[in-house]
Structure 1
Amino acid sequence: MAKESKPALSANLKFLGRTHAAVRDHLSASTELPDFLATAGGLSLEGRKRLIAQALVLMESNFVHLPLKRAMHGIDPIQRLKLVRHRLDRATPATMGPEFAFHREMIDIFTSVRDLHTNYLLPDPFRGRVAFLPFDVEEYFDADGTPRYVASHFVQGFTHSHFKPGVEVLTWNGNPIERAVEVTADLHAGSNADARHARGLDGLTIRSLTRAMPPDAMWVDVGYVDLNGTDRETRQEWIVSPALPINNGVDPDIANLNASCLGLDIEADAVQRAKLMLFAPKAVEELAKPKQVTVKMAAQGAEVPTLMPSTFRARSATTTSGEFGIIRIFTFNVNDPGVFIDEFIRLVELLPQNGLIVDVRGNGGGHIHASEGLLQTMTPSEVTPEPTQFISTPLNTDICARHNGNPVGIELGPWEESLRESVETGSVYSRGFSITPHDFANARGQQYHGPVVLITDARCYSATDIFAAGFQDHRIGHILGVDGNTGAGGANVWTHSLLKQLLELPPPTDPETPFEDLPNNSGLRVAIRRTLRVNEQAGTPLEDLGVKPGFRHALTREDLLSSNVDLINRAGEILTGMKTYGLTASVADTAEGQRVSVTTLGLDRLDFYIDGRPFSSHDVGEGTHAIDISSGGALLRLDGFDNGLLAASRRIVL
C-alpha cells in the first residue's frame, strides 16, 4: 500500500511551492507522514517511568478538577497511571513495548478526564509539529436541521479538477462523514458533547502533534458530491509541517506573572495558528509589516487596520438590520494585557457606535487578565473578576507558602492561609481569590456605550470561557451561540516546568520537591486553579458547565462560503431589539473652573463624581449639555441613568 501511494504523495507536496510567499519557506519544511514517522522513537524505559511518576504527582496533588471529573465522568486516571507504572516496573528495554503504544495510552488517560487544560504533551519529534490535509471541512445545517459538511477552504496552490471549495463531503475512509466526526471526537478531551463534536470536526483535517497522536492512516479517501452534483472520490495524503510560531504570546514555561495567569487550550491555539498558516497567509504577511494607526472612522463595510492582526479583526458590517461594528478576537494569548485592551478600545472607537458584535468563535483563551480586563470597556457596572480555588493538598500549600510575598512576580499568599485551614476544616478547596486584580479589571471603565452581542461556539475555552461568563454575569449584552455551549474550560493552567520552578525559585531549591526534569522535551500541563461564576451564579463552577447562549444560530451554507453573512445578519437583528445609549464628554477651562460639555442618548439623569466623591446630579434629555464644575480633582466620572438604572459611564482625566 505504501509503495502505491508514494507517487501521489510526492506529487501532493509539489503544491507547497506555490503557496503564498509569507508561508512558503515555512511550509517547505513539510514532509510526508510516513517519512516523519520514521524519525520517531527513542523514549527509554527510564524515561517512561519518569513520565508516569510525574503525571501521578500532578494528578494526585495539583489537579483541581479531580473530584468533579471523577463524579461527572466516572473515571480514575490515578489508578490507570498506577497500572502502567506496575507494568513498566516489570518490563525490560526488550519487553517494554512500542513507544507509540505508550504515547497512545498516556494520551488516552489524560483525555479520559475531559479537560483540555490537563495534558500529556508528546516528546520530540512530535512536539511543535502539525499534521494536515490541504483543505478544511466545516458543518452547516439545512432548513430542516440536517447537518451537512463541505470542503470550505483550500491551501493556496492546491488544485483539483473536481474537489473544490463548496463540494459536499459524504464519506471519510468509507465511513459516513458524521460517524467519522464522532470517531475523531473521541480522540479529544472536550468536556461536553458540543465541544467534543467541534474538536472532532477540526481533527478530520488538522492534528496538533504536540497533544494528539498522528493519524493512523497515511491518507484519507474522501467521498463527495462535486459542484455539478456528481458523486466522486479523491485520496488526500497527510502532510506534517512545523507549527507556525506563536506571535507575542505568553511562554508558559517561564516563571513569571504572565505564565501563572494563563487559561489556554493549547490544542485549539495550535489549530487556529495552523488555519492561519494554511488558509489565511495574507494575515501572516500582515504580521511582518510595519503597523500604522488610523484615526478615521470605518467607512460602510470597511475594515479598520489593527496593530495586532493575529489577535483582532475589526470592520464595519452591513447587515439586513443596519450598519454595525464587528470585532473578531482570535486569541487572548498576549504578553501585555494592557496593550491588548487599549487596542480593542482604539478599534471600537472607530466602528459604528449604535451596536457592536464581538465574535470569539474558535478562541482557545490566553491571558486571564486580558479576558477579564476587557469586560469593563463594555459595561457601566463595576466588574468582579472570577474567584479561583486550589485543591487542598500539602504540595499546593507548600507552593503557595513559598510564593507568599511575591518573590518572582507570582503572588500566592492569599491562598496559603486558606489551604492551611483546610487541614482543620476538611475543605476540599481553598477559599476563592481572583487572578485578575480588581483594580486592573476596572482601571479604564466603559468605553463603548452601544448594545453588544457576543458570538460564541464550542471551541471557546479557558480564558475565553471566563470572558463569556463575565459577559453574561455582568449582563453586558446578549450571547448568540452557533453551538449550545462553550467549551466549558474553567481553570488556570500551569505546566510541569512552571510547577518545578516554583519550588526552585527563589533559591535555594525546596529539598522536598517531587518534580523532576521530563525526558525528550515531553511535557505535562494541569488545571491548577478552578474558576467560579459571580453575581447571580456566584459559586457555580465554570468547568464542564460552560456558558450557554441566550440565542442560537445554526450555521448555513452561505455562512461558510460567504463570510458568515447569515450569522452576522442574525446578530444585527438582536442588536436592533436592544436599547442604544450614548455618553460623550469634553472639558474646557473657564474663569470659575471647568465646563463639561456632555452629549447624551437614551439617558435621563447624569451623576458627577470627582476623584470618586459625589459632586452633582442633573436631569437631562437627549442632546448636548454644558455643566460647570469647580476646579480641582484629577478624575471626573459621569454616570448616566435610564429610569433609575445605571446605563452608561464615562471617565475623563481633568
Structure 2
Amino acid sequence: MSQPRKTASNQTTTKTRTSKKTVASKASAAKKAASRSTAASAEQAAAIPLPQFLAAAGTLTLGQRKLLIDQALLLLEQNYVHLPLKVAMHAVNPLQRLRVMRARTERQTTDTMEAEWMFHRQMSSIFHSVRDLHTNYLLPAPFAGKIAFLPFMIEKCTDTDGEHYLITRVVTGYSAPQFGPGAEVTHWNGTPIARAVALNGAQFAGSNEAANLARGLESLTLRPLVIQSPPDEDWVSLSYLGLDGSAQELREQWKVTANLPPMTDLDALTPASAAMGLDLDSDEKARAKKALYVQEVVSLEGGETSAELAEPVAVSGADVATTMPGVFRARQVVTSHGTFGQLRIFTFSVNDPVAFRDEFVRLAAALPQNGLIVDVRDNGGGHIFASEFTLQTMTPRRISPEPVQFISTPLNLRLCRRHKDNPSGIDLGPWLDSLDLATETGAAYSAAKPITPEDGANEIGQTYYGPVVLITDARVYSATDIFAAGFADHEIGMILGVDDNTGAGGANVWTHGLLATLLNEPPPPDPTSPYVALPNGANMRVAIRRTLRVGELSGTPVEDLGIRPDAVHKMTRADLLSSNVDLLDAAGELLASMPNRRLSVTRTLAGTTLTVGLDVDGIDRVDLYLDDRPISSEDLGDDPVSIDILDVSAGQLLRADGYAEGVLVASRRLLV
C-alpha cells in the first residue's frame, strides 16, 4: 500500500531524519558484539566498592556551593511551572529551604563547611520535596555518569497470600546459596521488605503513592548517582527464602560503575532537547539495566543508546525483527482469549520521532491484526513528538496534541521574546503574547499551546485497525504519561494498569544548560543573563511547561493526577518468572471484549476513472474523500462494493472513513 504524501506543512517534522543514529549494518553490529560483551565484562569487573568511590569524591569550594544554591533559587522561582501546585498539594516551601541553606553557608568557612556528601544530600532533598521527577539537582563529577548497584533486581507480585518480593534478574556470573530468579526477599537490613520499600520510596518521592512505592523498590538495588544521593550503607543484609524454600542470609556490598551514555545532549540547543519530556531517573536506570542484564542489545546498538540499525534484528523474546532493538520489542502472544500482538515500547528517547513512528507502524503491521497490546511499563518518556506522532496510527480520530503552558515570570517572558521568531529552531513565539499580557492581567500562566506540530501528529493517519489495549504502571512518566493521556483522551482503546495510576508527570523539561544557551544563542549573547555556568559538571533540570489534557478532561493538568487505568491487574509470580503470562492473558480478555474492525480499500486508476473497492467488517457506512473533498457516501452490508469516480488524477489522496451506527471507527488513506 502506498504511503500518504508528505505536505509542505509537514517538512519541519521530518527534517530531523538527517541526524538519526545509524549503525552501519547488521553485520557490523554483530561484529561488534564480541568486543562489546568483553568490554562490558571488563567494565563490571572494574566496578569499585562504594566506600572507595566516595573517598575520592568531594572537590566543591564554598563559593561553588553558594553559586549552586543561587542558581537553584533562580530556576525554581523563575522557571519552575509547577511551583504553585506543589506548594499547595504537598505543603512544601523549597524556596525558603534554599534561602535558609544559603544563609547558613554565609556563616561557614572552608574549614567549617559540612562534608560535600551532606551538601549534595540537602540539595537533593530540597528538589525531591516537590515530588516532581522532572525537577532535579544533578550531582557534579565524579557522580555524573556513574551508577551504584547491587547485582540483582527485585520485583513485586501479589497472590492470595498478599504481596511478595522476588528476585527476577541476576548479573551474569553472580551466585549465592539457593539464590536466583524466584528467590523471595523477606527482610532488607533487618527491616521487613514492604516497609523498607515504603521508607525508601518516601526518600525518592514520586507524584503519588503508586509512584513512591515503584521508585522505592527500584532504588533498593540501583541508584544513578547523578540524580540520587549515594547509599548511606556500604553493604546491605538480605534475608530471603531460597529456591528450595530454605531461609537464607546474604550480605552484599554496593559497587559503583559507569553507566551507558544518554541518547542526546540535553543541554544542546536542538529541537530534540527542547521537546524532551523525560524522567531522567528512569532513563538512567533503563540504561543501567541494559548494561547489567541485556548485553545482547548493548552489543547491537554499538554503545549508542536508542540507535537505529540499518537492518532489522530480532533479539531474545521477540518474534519480529526491529531496527531499534533498544526501543521496541514485538512478538505474537497466545492467550486463553486468542492470539494477539504485543508491542513493547521501552523508551521514547530518540532523536528522530518520524523514524520512531514509522518503525512502530511497520512492527504493528507484522503482528496479528485482530488485537494489539501496547506495553509502555517502565517507560520514562523522551521525545514528546515521538509519543504524540504515534497516537494517530491507532485511531481514525484527528489527534489534538496536548497543550502546554509556561508559568508567568519575567525570565520566561525574556526567553520567549528572544526566541519568538524561531531563530534557533526552537519557536517560543506562540507563548509570547500571553506572557506579555500577563504582566498587566496578573495571569498565572501563559496561553496553552501544543509543543507537537498538529500536522505531524496527523500526517499519516490510522494504520492499525484492530482493538488496542495499553498497559501502564507507576513508572510511566513524562512523554509516556502524555502518550497515555492522549490514548485516553482520544478514546483509542482500553488502559490496563499494573498499578492504580501512572507516574503523573506531565511536563516538558529543560536543563539549566539549555536555559543558559537560550539566552546566549543566537549571538550576540545576552550580557544580563542571570544563568551562570555551574561548577564541576553539575546541572539542574526543571519542568518548564506543564501539560494539559484534551477531550472530555480538557484543561486538567497531568502533573500529580496522572492517568488512571480502565482495569487493574496485580502482577503475579507467573508474570515475574514466566514472561508476563497472566498480565497478557488479562489484556487478551479485554481485547476479546472489544469490536474488531476491518476496512479494506482497493483503488485502480484507468485514464481519469478511479475504481474504488470496499470490503468491511464491523462498519455500516463509508464516506470517500479526494484531497479532503467529499465525493461519495456508501451504506454497506456484508458484500464488497465497487465505486467509479470520474475526473481523477494520479497523485491525489483518497481517504475512506468508516462508520458504525454513526460513529467514526476506521479511516484509511491511499495515494491514487
| TM-score between the two structures when normalised by the length of structure 2 | 0.92
Checking the alignment, whether the CA contact within 8 Å between 2:177 and 2:248 is kept in structure 1 is no
Q: 2:605 corresponds to which residue? A: 589
- Please identify, of 253-262 and 449-458, the stretch whose mean Cα deviation from structure 2 is larger: 253-262
Alignment counterpart, residue 656 of structure 2, candidates 635, 638, 647: 638
Q: Indicate how the Cα distance of structure 1 residues 302 and 207 shifts in structure 2: closer, same or farther if over 3 A, else same.
A: closer
Structure 1 residue 512: Cα displacement: 2.0
2:135 pairs with 1:118: yes
Q: Indicate how the Cα distance of structure 1 residues 18 and 164 shifts in structure 2: closer, same or farther if over 3 A, else same.
A: farther
- Partner amino acid, structure 2, of 1:596: V
Checking the alignment, whether the CA contact within 8 Å between 1:602 and 1:622 is kept in structure 2 is no
Structure 1 residue 398: Cα displacement: 0.5
2:283 pairs with 1:265: no
Q: Indicate how the Cα distance of structure 1 residues 21 and 569 shifts in structure 2: closer, same or farther if over 3 A, else same.
A: farther
Structure 1 residue 286: Cα displacement: 2.9
- Aligned partners of 2:271 and 2:441: how far apart in 1? 30
- Please identify, of 324-333 and 229-238, the stretch whose mean Cα deviation from structure 2 is larger: 229-238
> CA offsets per residue over residues 263-320 of structure 1, 9 Å max, x none?
00000011111111212222222324964349xxx9xx96100000000000111111
Structure 1 residue 258: Cα displacement: 1.1
SS where residue 203 of structure 2 aligns? coil
> CA offsets per residue over residues 381-419 of structure 1, 9 Å max, x none?
000011100000000000000000000000000101000
Greater relative contact order (CA < 8 Å, ≥ 6 in sequence): 2
Alignment counterpart, residue 321 of structure 1, candidates 315, 322, 337: 337
SS where residue 303 of structure 1 aligns? coil
- Aligned partners of 1:621 and 1:347: how far apart in 2? 31
SS where residue 464 of structure 2 aligns? coil
Within 5 Å, which residues of 2 pair with 1:40-439? 40-144=57-161, 146-246=162-262, 249-288=263-302, 291-293=310-312, 303-439=319-455
- Aligned partners of 1:592 and 1:442: how far apart in 2? 28
Structure 1 residue 23: Cα displacement: 2.5
Q: Indicate how the Cα distance of structure 1 residues 113 and 319 shifts in structure 2: closer, same or farther if over 3 A, else same.
A: same
- Aligned partners of 2:438 and 2:418: how far apart in 1? 18
- Please identify, of 330-339 and 88-97, the stretch whose mean Cα deviation from structure 2 is larger: 88-97
Structure 1 residue 345: Cα displacement: 0.2
SS where residue 69 of structure 1 aligns? helix
2:597 pairs with 1:576: no
SS where residue 267 of structure 2 aligns? coil
- Partner amino acid, structure 2, of 1:646: L
Structure 1 residue 598: Cα displacement: 3.0
> CA offsets per residue over residues 38-59 of structure 1, 9 Å max, x none?
1101011111011001001001
Structure 1 residue 19: Cα displacement: 11
- Aligned partners of 2:321 and 2:638: how far apart in 1? 32
Checking the alignment, whether the CA contact within 8 Å between 2:312 and 2:324 is kept in structure 1 is no
SS where residue 115 of structure 1 aligns? coil
Within 5 Å, which residues of 2 pair with 1:541-620? 541-620=557-636
- Partner amino acid, structure 1, of 2:199: V
Within 5 Å, which residues of 2 pair with 1:439-454? 439-454=455-470
- Aligned partners of 2:50 and 2:79: how far apart in 1? 36
| TM-score between the two structures when normalised by the length of structure 1 | 0.94
Aligned CA RMSD, in angstroms, stands at 1.7
Checking the alignment, whether the CA contact within 8 Å between 1:392 and 1:428 is kept in structure 2 is yes
> CA offsets per residue over residues 461-504 of structure 1, 9 Å max, x none?
00000000000000000000000000000110000000001011
- Please identify, of 591-600 and 457-466, the stretch whose mean Cα deviation from structure 2 is larger: 591-600
- Partner amino acid, structure 2, of 1:261: A
- Aligned partners of 1:414 and 1:290: how far apart in 2? 36
- Aligned partners of 2:387 and 2:533: how far apart in 1? 32
Structure 1 residue 602: Cα displacement: 1.0
- Aligned partners of 1:20 and 1:445: how far apart in 2? 41
- Aligned partners of 1:546 and 1:593: how far apart in 2? 51
- Partner amino acid, structure 2, of 1:62: N
Q: 1:516 corresponds to which residue? A: 532
- Aligned partners of 2:544 and 2:143: how far apart in 1? 25
> CA offsets per residue over residues 226-254 of structure 1, 9 Å max, x none?
122211101111111100123xx232110
- Partner amino acid, structure 2, of 1:312: F
Alignment counterpart, residue 511 of structure 2, candidates 491, 495, 515: 495
SS where residue 286 of structure 2 aligns? helix
Q: 2:17 corresponds to which residue? A: none
- Partner amino acid, structure 1, of 2:311: Q
> CA offsets per residue over residues 89-135 of structure 1, 9 Å max, x none?
12111111111110000000000000000000000000010111111
- Please identify, of 88-97 and 561-570, the stretch whose mean Cα deviation from structure 2 is larger: 88-97
- Aligned partners of 2:176 and 2:310: how far apart in 1? 37
Q: Indicate how the Cα distance of structure 1 residues 18 and 389 shifts in structure 2: closer, same or farther if over 3 A, else same.
A: closer
Superposed structure 1 runs of 4+ greater than 6 Å apart: none
Checking the alignment, whether the CA contact within 8 Å between 1:22 and 1:281 is kept in structure 2 is no
Checking the alignment, whether the CA contact within 8 Å between 2:36 and 2:299 is kept in structure 1 is no
Q: Indicate how the Cα distance of structure 1 residues 319 and 22 shifts in structure 2: closer, same or farther if over 3 A, else same.
A: farther
Checking the alignment, whether the CA contact within 8 Å between 1:479 and 1:549 is kept in structure 2 is yes
- Aligned partners of 1:559 and 1:291: how far apart in 2? 33
Within 5 Å, which residues of 2 pair with 1:25-40? 25-40=42-57
- Aligned partners of 1:100 and 1:421: how far apart in 2? 44
Checking the alignment, whether the CA contact within 8 Å between 2:405 and 2:449 is kept in structure 1 is yes
> CA offsets per residue over residues 420-439 of structure 1, 9 Å max, x none?
11111111001100000111
- Please identify, of 488-497 and 33-42, the stretch whose mean Cα deviation from structure 2 is larger: 33-42
Checking the alignment, whether the CA contact within 8 Å between 2:619 and 2:658 is kept in structure 1 is yes
- Please identify, of 331-340 and 629-638, the stretch whose mean Cα deviation from structure 2 is larger: 629-638
- Partner amino acid, structure 2, of 1:227: L
SS where residue 207 of structure 1 aligns? strand
> CA offsets per residue over residues 148-183 of structure 1, 9 Å max, x none?
101111111112231221011000111110111112
Structure 1 residue 22: Cα displacement: 6.6
Checking the alignment, whether the CA contact within 8 Å between 2:155 and 2:576 is kept in structure 1 is yes
2:501 pairs with 1:485: yes
SS where residue 459 of structure 1 aligns? coil
- Aligned partners of 1:31 and 1:648: how far apart in 2? 56
SS where residue 163 of structure 1 aligns? coil
SS where residue 399 of structure 1 aligns? helix
